[in-house]
Amino acid sequence: MEDCFATSWSRNDERGMQMIKPKVLVLKADGTNRDGEMTYAFKVAGGDPKIVHVNELRNGSEKMSDYQILALPGGFAYGDDIVSGKILAIELTSFLRAEMKKFIERKDTAIIGVCNGFQVLVRTGLLPFRKIGEMDVTLTNNDSGHFECRWIKVKVNGKNTSKFLQGMDGAMWLPVAHGEGKFFTDKKTLKEIEDKNLVAFRYVDDDGNPTQKYPDNPNGALNAIVGITDETGRIFGMMPHPECFIREEQHPNWRRGTVKVAGLPIFENIVKFVKEAK
Amino acid sequence: MIQKVRVQTAGQDNIKVYRLEGASEKEAKVLAEKLLSERTNQKYTINQPIHLWGVQAHPRGVSAVEIAYKPGVMNPEVESIMKAASDLGIKLIACDSSTEYFSQKVSFNPLIEHIVTEEPQTLLIKEKPAKTRIIPVRNLNAQELLDLSNETLFLNLEEMQTIQKYFKKIKRDPTDLELETLAQTWSEHSGHKTFKADLIVDGKKKLPLMTRLKKEALKHDKNIVSAFSDNSGVMDFYDGFGICGKVETHNSPSAIEPYGGAMTGSGGVFRDIAATGKGAKNIASTDIFCFAPVDLPASELPVGCLPPEYLLKRVVTGVRDYGNRMGIPTNNGSVHFHKDFRAKPTVIVGAFGITPKKYAIKEKPKLGDLIICVGGKTGRDGIHGATFSSGEMTDQTMGVHSSAVQIGNAIEEKRIFDALLDARNENLIRLVQDCGGGGFSSAIGEIGEELGVSINLENAPLKYQGLAPWEIWMSESQERMIVVLQRKNLGKFKEICKKYNVEFAVLGQFDGSKKLNVSFGSEVVGNLDMKFLHQGLPKRVMKANKPSNVIPADAGIQRAISSQASLLNESRSELDPRLRGDDRVEQPKSEKEWVKVLEKVLAHGNVCSKEPIVRLYDHSVQGTNDLQPFSGINLDGPNDSPVLRPFLDKKYGVIISHGLNPVLNSIDPYWGSIWAATEALSNFVSVGGDYKEACLINNYVWPFPDEQSLWSLDRSVDAVVDFMKVFKIPIISGKDSLSSTYRGKDGVVIKIPPVLCISVLGKIPDTGKTVTTDFKQVGSTIVLVGKMSESLGGSTYFDVRPTYVGDPSLIAQDDITMVPKVDLKILSKTFDAIHKGIQTGKILSSHDISEGGIIGAIFEMCVGGDCGVEIELNTSDGGRLKRSGSHDSSHVLKESNEVKRPDQFLFNETAGCFIVEVENKSVAEQFFKSVPYKILGKTKEGNKMEIYGNEEKLFVADVNDLKKVWQEPMRRMFP
């Protein structure tokens, strides 16, 4: 783990409290780069995160079954070569298929993938239909043709019943930073996703309406889809970075006194869910 | 057998091509379906052309053109394909990827790419091993020595003769490796010969530039942890940590291959941070570019130089693709334009990091310690980079030095850094050294100076066979680092490397011989005394002379005023408008003309919004950015400096900023440099920084140091030394690149406007006590704080006004040397007042004045605040001037900011002045009583900028209209 966080956190840790904190596996591969923020987010939300390299899962020195939450952070796993998240997805489905299957079959587990992590989740097939090794949706090149780093507004899909999304309403600010974030699939699959209310968030304009307009919708995602869950609501992926909006000062306009921290509640919900799940 | 897989994405008409060597067709199908294509939006073929899908039919006769990297050039994708194929149980011998285009116009860079016209039989590179050669130097005469040098060594006669003497003394001739090692170690790039030379300036002896800078800097050591002694400078931070900074230039590679040049420039400076002490973590990066204007007519582009538009686009793409993959936020930078950068662009890349102070200093290697290479394999790429970048640009540069160009692989570097930080935290490391310019030769040569080393080059992992030992030794293949550790730590270190997929090789050890012993297997290929290598370079004595011409500056200026302009191959003889005296420009006469002039200033390359570039860089990664590059209601108001919280759970932070003004430097190198330093520190103060908690980094990008250019360099160094003296803060790191002169075959000589870039790194106890530039509310009072110079020489305003036509010889010296002179005595008080105002929360927003002037700053604050302003300018007798504490009214006028002419006031670009927003007048009176200040007006509802002079309307402009003009230039470049 990054030394800097370790130094300051170990000092703040309360002895004995570790026991009740759900263990979070923050998955790292070559090129993963938002693992520090993901770790911080779960720490603040009351989890017990640990950064684990995929090689440690492969060689058995770490086991998914020892954790309750699997978090796939942003970055450029293996350079996002071929397409984003592809190489890591192949690695996971080739070597950790059984472990992942067991993990999602448990009722007390949660999976979150952000940005590159979301790209990995759809390419493993975990999202949207929990079919490991079968891909039904993709995240492809932004319509603009380039990487985009900016703050955008999203709105929760009230019909999605995932516990991770509870207590959220109205437009929320989140930062995006990606070049391949356009949610895309065939008409039939899109209909199925909509019918089953798997959409978690949509990009919205100033009036709070779902939008296809750039840059409010930064990538041209179909139906302004920001992120989705599976049917159980326990696997969740999205393009923006909630882990980078854990404290007010991370928003460019906090000095104007008009922003609400939007990222933290997602992590608090996840931690709460796995704590209560049995 | 090579299987060729083509993949098309719906709606796109370029086809991705993958060649898989060693796979059966069946295996290729598995790879095509599972790895190379996705059925949701792509289709593929194997060993067959593809029928385009989802795109309009192509004009007849357009056939595919396939562009691939040349064999041997880094293609980062290859490694990933090999890995994923292996994960899927398919063993490939080799693979490659390329692109087929159906467009009639395909651009590619022949230095690194080629058109594939023939199917390759194999993708493996096989070459016969090359042998070490002995180069006879002992019997060469002076001319022969120079001929030998001119090929690749770039040393002068005295240096060549020193080498000859050494080998005569040891009674043998050097190997190619030894000669290359000497040339690299003694190159301007590595040896900084000009900065270390004794100087004779205008006939008087002066200490070397480096000595003067260091001497002054080390007097102000309150915050210094290490300066001038490591790969970056380290300053004190909080809680036992240090923060460090390094700024590099990558002009020469970027001039001929901007994408790879920018990538490897970024990669190199990140490695400098990672190779600070026992290793530091990168937390931010900055990028500063200077190009010729993008609309430069092709006819004015010197032979062998690339068009500025192409350079700008490709450099930005390189920075994006490398920095974003590294997960290092790129959150500060700037782009400058001047015609003479057509000679050679200036590409400056900075990196900043953090490390516990206990790991901030390198440990001395001990006898028996191991020298280890981690990271990428060594290939023939980048050979002669260090010597190449010390040479001038010519029309031959592109062809002859193409091997100095490379493509970076960020992920390789990312995993090295992850591994090194782990190893550092387990205290396994003595020191880390970057393997950059000069390759192993430079990295190992430097750390081995005291003890001596034995190296076996046979141990170095190679990309392909056939490299001569000297090529392995000199190669600048990217993403490699040298680590020194005790033998007992080897096992643990190996484990960490394995965990992060980092390749690893023991190259040799410290042997106590005080020699550089290099072997390849059992063959000795180098045996040099460390003392001769590092101290044998004869010290230079260099002359600098003020140009005899009335104009104290460089060729660019001489061109402009010379009545014999044709001598310099310049067809245009008009005066560079920036150089005109103030009174030669008339004030706009009508409201319409005012707005037009303002629009021109805002659309000027040096002033216009750079947002489209910033959005391509990941500036949010690490989650540390508490003051982002853009803020305000529409998130489009530019800010002065980023403020970072390196520990997300701690309030204290790092502020990073920079400043430069090549135009002013070309007119007056002293005051231009003072302006640059002032601008850099003002950016730091403007967001809330206390200048006493800042350290500086200086970068000199200069024309070749002939007598005149050395004179201006000397003046610039004087300015930096004076600046340190006044503010009692040090330079902690720096770099020079003195080769930005172009020499054409036809005698054309073009020098760039000299660039001094000052970067600032500093700390702040609470990032919450910082401000952005966007106006926060309606009805606030707008105040100008700081002492303005009356001069507008070198300003954007002069650059956009109609060209003066007349007899250039009539221009007096005063007219053109009148660049704004910053009053440094008042400046520290101004800084203190701004800092105090922000810390107490009384300053609601602040923006420092730079290119675009006062009106430009106010405009940008309106953009952020989505509001308007009413500005009231009263000329001299208007009586709004205040400077309490003085009863002498004439003194007041002199010291304060008098409005003589509204245009010269509004477009004034004196650095060290600030536009601030405060609640009301009395706040201004309370906070700014000890410095010159002037109340300019109020913020208003709506989007109008209303400007009045002596109660009469000068003009009203719509902020949203101006915004379009201001945003358009870069939006066009980066749609």
B538: cis peptide before it, omega within 30°?
A: no
Is A14 part of the contact surface with chain B (CB cutoff 8 Å)? no
Measure CB to CB from residue B647 to each of A8, A30, A78 and give the nearest one: A8
pLDDT at B899: 83
Q: What is the mean pLDDT of chain A?
A: 93
A204, A180 Cβ separation under 8 angstroms: no
Residue extents of the structural domains in chain A: 3-276
Confidence bin at B578 (pLDDT 50/70/90): very low
Residues 6+ apart with CB under 8 A from B608: B602, B966, B967, B968, B969, B970
Spatial CA neighbour of B938 closest among B882, B871, B862: B871
- CB–CB contact B499 A150 (8 Å): no
Instruction: Kindly tell me if the per-residue pLDDT of B811 is higher than 70.
Output: no
> From CA A185, how far away is CA A139, in angstroms rounded?
9
Tell me whether residue B250 is one of the annotated catalytic residues. Answer: yes
Residues B413 and B483 in one domain: yes
pLDDT at B59 over 60: no
Give A129's strand partners. none
What domain range is B459 assigned to?
128-207+365-539
Domain assignment present for B307? no
The pTM score is: 0.93
Is the backbone peptide bond immediately before A128 cis, with ω within 30 degrees of 0? Answer: yes
CA atoms of B435 and B443, how far apart (whole Å) = 5
| Best A35, A53, A87 residue to mutate vs chain B (most B CBs within 10 Å) | A87
In-domain check, residue B331:
no
Query: What mean pLDDT comes out for the span B132-161?
Result: 92
Catalytic residue among A241, A244, A251, A268: A241
Burial of A98 (0-12, 13-18, 19+ CB in 10 A): exposed
Residue B434 three-state SS: strand
Nearest CB to B88: which of A76, A82, A90? A90
Whether B234 is covered by a domain: the verdict is no
How far apart (Å, rounded) are the C-alpha atoms in residues B587 and B903?
A: 6
State the pLDDT at residue B11: 81
User: Residue B248, annotated ligand binder?
Assistant: yes
**pLDDT of amino acid B802:** 60
Q: Is B161 exposed, middle or buried (0-12, 13-18, 19+ CB in 10 A)?
A: middle
State whether B639 and B723 are in the same domain: yes
Which of B122-136, B147-161, B233-247, B769-783 shows the lowest per-residue confidence on average (mean pLDDT)? B122-136
Catalytic pick among B220, B250, B336, B604: B250
Residue B347 resides in a domain = no
Residue B478 is assigned to a ligand binding site: yes
Instruction: Name the nearest CA neighbour of A93 among A130, A129, A133.
Output: A133
Verify that B841 and B938 share a domain, yes or no.
yes
- Find residues 582-601 of chain B whose CB sits inside 8 Å of chain A: none
Q: Is A56 on the interface with B (CB under 8 A)?
A: yes
CA dihedral sign of residues B119, B120, B121, B122: negative
Tokens at B224, concatenated:
């210094």
List, as ranges, residues 194-253 from A with C-beta within 8 Å of B.
241, 243-244, 246-247, 249-250, 252-253
Backbone phi and psi for residue B148, each to the nearest 5 degrees, phi listed first? -60, -45
Query: How many Å apart are CA B117 and CA B890, to the nearest integer?
Result: 79
Do B615 and B535 lie in a common domain?
Answer: no
Q: Please give the pLDDT value at position B74.
A: 83
CB < 8 Å to A247, chain B = 648
CA distance B871 to B208: 49
Are B566 and B507 within one domain? Answer: no
pLDDT at A21 over 50: yes
Q: What is the pLDDT of residues B316-370, one digit of tens each?
A: 999 999 999 999 999 999 999 999 999 999 999 999 999 999 999 999 999 999 9
Q: Which of A2, A5, A9, A30 to mutate to test the interface with B (most CBs of B within 10 A)?
A: A30
Of B38, B320, B325, the CB nearest to A83: B38
**B172-186: per-residue pLDDT in tens?**
999 999 999 999 999
Q: Judge whether A111 and A68 are in contact, CB under 8 Å.
A: no
The whole-angstrom distance between residue A50's C-alpha and the CA centroid of its chain comes to: 16
**pLDDT for the residue B565:** 28
Which of these three, B482, B510, B539, is where a domain ends? B539
pLDDT at B818: 80
Catalytic residue among A37, A115, A180, A251: A115
Residue B823: the pLDDT is 95
Q: Has residue B324 been placed in a domain? A: no
Nearest CA in chain A to B241: A4
Answer yes or no: are the C-beta atoms of B507 and B485 closer than 8 Å: no
The share of chain B scoring above pLDDT 90, in percent, equals: 76
**pLDDT the model gives residue B728:** 98
Please indicate, yes or no, whether residues B505 and B595 belong to a single structural domain of this protein: no
Distance from CA of B688 to the nearest CA of A (A): 13
What pLDDT, on the 0 to 100 scale, is given for residue B813? 42
Could you report the per-residue pLDDT of A118-137, keeping only the tens digit for each? 999 999 999 999 999 999 99
CA distance A174 to chain B (A): 11
How many angstroms separate the CA atoms of B350 and B352, rounded?
7
- The pLDDT of residue B58 is 57
pLDDT (0 to 100) of residue A9: 41
pLDDT given for residue B560 in this prediction: 37
Q: Which residues of B touch A175 (CB under 8 A)?
A: 620
Which residue is closest to A255 within chain B, CA to CA?
A: B771
d(CA A265, CA A232): 19
Question: Is the same domain home to B104 and B132?
Answer: no
Degrees, nearest 5: CA angle A257-A261-A267: 175
Distance CA B788, CA A19 (A): 63
| pLDDT over 70, % of chain B | 89
- Report how far residue A167's alpha carbon sits from residue A160's, in angstroms, rounded to the nearest whole number: 12
Confidence tier at B398 by pLDDT (50, 70, 90) = low
Q: Closest approach of chain B CAs to the CA of A167, in angstroms? A: 24
Note whether B351 contacts A: Cβ–Cβ < 8 A: no
Q: Is the pLDDT of residue B824 over 70?
A: yes
Cβ atoms B731, B696 nearer than 8 A: yes
Q: Residue B552: pLDDT above 80?
A: no
pLDDT digits (tens, 9 = 90+) for B655-672: 999 999 999 999 899 999
Nearest to B81 by CA among B32, B124, B48: B32
CB contact under 8 A, A53 and B36: no
Choose among B256, B319, B268: nearest CA to B289. Answer: B319
pLDDT at residue number B791: 87
Q: What is the mean pLDDT of chain B?
A: 89
Q: Hey, what amino acid is at B939? A: T
Residue B127 has pLDDT above 90, yes or no: no
Q: What is the pLDDT of residue B901?
A: 87
Distance to chain A for B95, nearest Cα, Å? 13
Looking at residue B151, what is its pLDDT? 77
The verdict on B502 and B591 lying in the same domain is no
Task: Say how far apart CA B905 and CA B216 lie, in whole Å.
Answer: 36
CB B878 within 8 A of CB B901: no
Q: How far is B182 from chain A (nearest CA, A)?
A: 37
CATH topology of domain A3-276: Rossmann fold (3.40.50)
Identify the closest residue of chain B to A140 by CA–CA distance.
B41
Q: Which residues contact B491 (CB under 8 A, 6 or more apart)?
A: none
Same domain, B487 and B631: no
Residue B192 annotated among the catalytic residues of the structure? no
Strands B755-764 and B914-918: unpaired
Whether B456 contacts B521, CB under 8 Å? yes
Range with lowest mean pLDDT among A144-148, B184-188, B781-785? B184-188
Do B620 and A244 make contact, defined as CB atoms within 8 angstroms? yes
| Cβ(B908)–Cβ(B795) below 8 Å | yes
Concatenating the DSSP letter of every residue in B15-57 gives EEEEEEET--HHHHHHHIIIII--TTTEEEEESS-----SSPP
Neighbours of B79 (CB within 10 A): 21
Residues B472 and B493 in one domain: yes
What residues of B are in contact with residue A37 (Cβ under 8 Å)?
A: 621-623, 648
| pLDDT beyond 60 at B399 | no
Mean pLDDT along residues A54-75: 98
Is B263 inside a domain boundary? no
- CB contact under 8 Å between B772 and A255, yes or no, is yes
Token pair in block for residue B790: 């009356």
**Is the Cβ of A42 closer than 8 Å to some Cβ of chain B?**
no
CA angle, B344 then B748 then B553, to 5°: 70
pLDDT in tens, B405-442: 788 899 999 999 999 999 999 999 999 999 988 899 99
**B458 marked as part of a ligand binding site:** no
Q: In Å, how far is A247's CA from the nearest CA of chain B?
A: 9
Confirm whether B356 is domain-assigned. Answer: no
Burial of B146 (0-12, 13-18, 19+ CB in 10 A): middle
- Contact status of A258 with chain B (Cβ, < 8 Å): no
> At which of B115, B150, B165 does a domain end?
B115
The whole-angstrom distance between B251's CA and the closest CA on chain A is 25
What's the pLDDT tens digit per position in B882-931? 333 334 333 333 345 678 889 989 999 999 999 999 999 999 999 999 99
Give the model's pLDDT for residue B571: 30
Average pLDDT over residues B772-801: 93
Contacts for B959 with CB less than 8 Å, ≥ 6 apart = B859, B862, B863, B866, B867, B868, B943, B944, B945
B533 & B583 share domain? no
Which residues from chain B sit within 8 angstroms of residue A74, using beta carbons?
Answer: 621
Instruction: Work out the average pLDDT over B769-776.
Output: 98
Q: Which residues of B756-793 are buried (b: 16+ CB within 10 A; e: fewer)?
A: bbbbbbbbbeebbbbbbbbbbeeebbbbbbbbbbbbbb
CATH of residue B163's domain is: 3.90.650.10
Q: Do A82 and B80 touch (CB under 8 A)?
A: yes
- Cβ within 8 Å of residue B592, ≥6 positions away: none
d(CA B522, CA B518): 10
pLDDT digits (tens, 9 = 90+) for B681-739: 999 999 999 999 999 999 999 999 999 999 999 999 999 999 999 999 999 999 999 98
Three-state secondary-structure class, residue B623 = helix
Number of domains, chain B: 3
- Give A184-199 pLDDT, tens digit per residue: 999 999 999 999 999 9
B25 is in an annotated binding site: no
| B623–chain A Cβ distance below 8 A for any pair | yes
pLDDT at B809 over 50: no
Residue of A270, A202, A210, A192 lying closest to A236 (CA atoms): A270
Tell me the pLDDT band of B253, cut-offs 50, 70 and 90: confident
Domain membership flag for residue B306: no
Residue B678 contacts A where some CB pair is shorter than 8 Å: no
Location of structure tokens 């989802």 = B54
Out of B61, B91, B115, a domain closes at B115
**pLDDT tens sequence across B470-513:** 999 999 899 999 999 999 999 999 999 999 999 999 999 999 99
Which residues in chain A are closer than 8 Å to B80, comparing Cβ atoms? Answer: 78-79, 81-82, 87
Q: 3-class secondary structure for chain A? A: CCHHHHHHHHHHCCCCHHHHCCEEEEEECCCECCHHHHHHHHHHCCCEEEEEEHHHHHCCCCCHHHCCEEEECCECHHHHCCCCCHHHHHHHHHHCHHHHHHHHHCCCCEEEEECHHHHHHHHHCCCCCCCCCCCCCEEECCCCCCCEEEEEEEEECCCCCCHHHCCCCCEEEEEEEECCCEEECCHHHHHHHHHCCCEEEEEECCCCCECCCCCCCCCCCHHHEEEEECCCCCEEEECCCHHHCCCHHHCCCHHHCCCCCCCHHHHHHHHHHHHHCC
Task: Please check whether residue B691 is in contact with residue B835, taking contact to mean a CB–CB distance below 8 angstroms.
Answer: yes
Mean pLDDT for the stretch of residues B807-817: 44
Residues B484 and B573 in one domain: no
Cβ contact B351:B306 at 8 Å: no
Amino acid, single-letter form, for residue B140: L
A46 and chain B: CB distance < 8 Å anywhere?
Answer: no
